[in-house]
Amino acid sequence: MTEGRKSSLSVTITKYFLLTVTLLLFVGPLVWLLSTMMKTKAETYKVPPAIFPEQLTFEAFERLFAVQPLMWRWIQNSFTISIIVVIGVVLSSSIVAYGFARFKTKYKDKLFSIVLVTLMIPPSIMMIPSYVLYTKLGWVDTWLPLIVPAWLGSAYYIFLFRQFFMSIPMELDEATYLDGGNRWTVYTRVIMPLSKPIIITTVILSFVNSWLDFLGPFLYLKDNLKFTLSVGLQLLIGQTSQDFPALAAGAFISIIPIGLLYFFGQRYIVEGVVLTGTKG
């Protein structure tokens, strides 16, 4: 009995040790970021570097917005693009997924397999054809290349929605039809209200992907006034390459929306991902 307790205690200690090490690996960079943005420029050049600032100061934010007055504009642009993208992803992907989950057609499974195959196509392969297409359409230096694709459906989110919809009982659809409803009624009044976890999961994931997207805005946007925050921060590196507190302040601003989304929506992410695998 004593040996069993010792073995159980050893396993528990090992488990918490590994969790602590993992926590430090993830939290360490964040702590260093917060520490750097509250230091003075002189403190960042001290050797050895101090983890905590000698005196808390937020002058880095003042210098950040003084050096780059377009910061607020870039933040606004990022929010606008990300919100429009989120709306497009949720609407288009859920409608397509509803067809795959509820419609009975001969080639439904084959078409769904084709959709999944597109996940294996590297984005880099489509970069040049997409740029040529958007150039001929006159969309370069506009937000359209960043927004329109989101309104045409995404294979990954279609898969998530489809798997979640499959877990909703068909009896609810049949009851709606008996009450005089149609397929659109089922989608808007039954399926979507019951799909809150996967909707919130999709909102968070698509917002984060759009908010952090650097290659798309960098490739298609030429006007500084149309830049997103990710491209603007890259431009800021060239302007304040020696001002590490200001750069840290900019990076902190960029992660605030992501942190808030994950903090308030983590429960729905877990629930949504778990339920997508309950029925194939």
Q: With a cut of 90, say whether residue 133 has pLDDT above it.
A: yes
- Span 143-196, pLDDT tens digits: 999 999 999 988 999 999 999 999 889 999 889 898 888 899 999 999 999 998
Check if the beta carbon of residue 163 is closer than 8 Å to that of residue 280: yes
Q: How confident is the model at residue 77 (pLDDT cuts 50, 70, 90)?
A: very high
pTM of structure: 0.85
Q: Which residues contact 2 (CB under 8 A, 6 or more apart)?
A: none
- Span 50-68, pLDDT tens digits: 777 877 888 888 888 888 8
Q: How confident is the model at residue 1 (pLDDT cuts 50, 70, 90)?
A: very low
Q: With a cut of 80, say whether residue 35 has pLDDT above it.
A: yes
192-197 long-range contacts (CB < 8 A, ≥24 apart) are 192/94, 194/168, 195/94, 195/161, 195/164, 195/165, 195/168, 196/268, 197/164, 197/268, 197/271, 197/272, 197/275
Which whole number is the average pLDDT over 31-51? 82
- Span 190-247, pLDDT tens digits: 999 999 889 998 999 999 999 999 999 999 999 889 999 999 888 887 766 678 888 8
Report d(CA 51, CA 65) in Å as an integer.
25
Which whole number is the average pLDDT over 2-20? 78
The confidence score (pLDDT) of residue 150 equals: 92
Q: With a cut of 80, say whether residue 2 has pLDDT above it.
A: no
